[in-house]
Structure 1
């Protein structure tokens, strides 16, 4: 189980760094926001298949990959940068990140349920 979390975390962290460094023109906030929302979507999808896959797969994907891909520390660092120029924008950024993250997780779960229910034998 620990190896699955380690492998997923390494892959998620590497992918986050690739997105953060290799996509030109994205600001620090846009990059972190998009990555965190994408991780929430994947987490929602994984939640939808939790009863259909082995626990190691869930740990690899949810704890490892999504944990490595998303990053609370970068989010907080982004909030500190925002606060330097506009303190009142911080609650807005927090609210948007939470709202979009929850929304992405719900969409991921719905799509996962839809995708897997269509392919399940009757």
Structure 2
């Protein structure tokens, strides 16, 4: 289990670093927005299939990979930078990004259920 979390976290962190250097910040969104939304989608999908895959897959994917890919600390630091120049812009960005992240998780969960319920009858 620990090895799965370690390997997933290393891969997720390296991907985050590679992509975050190429994604410019926007006036109303943080630079980690896209990365965090992808992680939310994957977490939703893994939640849907958690009973159909080995526990180490969930540890590797959800705890390790998504934990390394997404980044709450960078999200908060970027919101702080936005707040210095535009407090309401930062509040709007936080609300928008959290809502879109929840939507992405729900979409991933729904898609995971739909695809995996068709493959494995209960």
Using the size of structure 1 for normalisation, the TM-score is 0.91
Aligned to 1:106: 106
Name the CA distance, whole Å, in 2 between partners of 1:31 and 1:111.
26
Question: How far 1:115 moved relative to its partner?
Answer: 1.0
| Residue aligned with 1:22, SS | coil
Q: Is the 8 A contact 2:13 2:68 kept in 1?
A: yes
Residue 17 and residue 34 in structure 1: after superposition, are their counterparts in 2 closer, same or farther (change >3 A)? same
Q: 1:27 aligns with which of 21, 25, 28?
A: 25
The aligned residue for residue 36 of structure 2 is 36
1:11 corresponds to which residue? Answer: 11
Which whole-Å deviations, capped at 9, do the CAs of 1:23-82 have from their partners, x for residues lacking one? Answer: 5xx227453011001100000000010000111110110000000000011101111110
Cα RMSD between the aligned structures?
A: 1.5
Give the TM-score taking structure 2 as reference length: 0.91
- Aligned positions of 1:1-122 closer than 5 A: 1-23=1-23, 26-27=24-25, 29-121=29-121
How much has 1:121 moved relative to structure 2?
4.7
- Partners in 1 of 2:75 and 2:92 — Cα distance? 13
The residue matched to 1:27 in structure 2 has which SS? coil
* Distance (whole Å) between structure 2 residues aligned to residue 89 and residue 62 of structure 1: 30
Count of residue pairs the alignment pairs up: 120
Rounded Cα–Cα distance in structure 1 between residues aligned with 2:47 and 2:111: 11
Kept in 2: contact 1:32–1:74 (CA 8 A): yes
Where do 5+ consecutive residues of structure 1 fail to align?
A: none
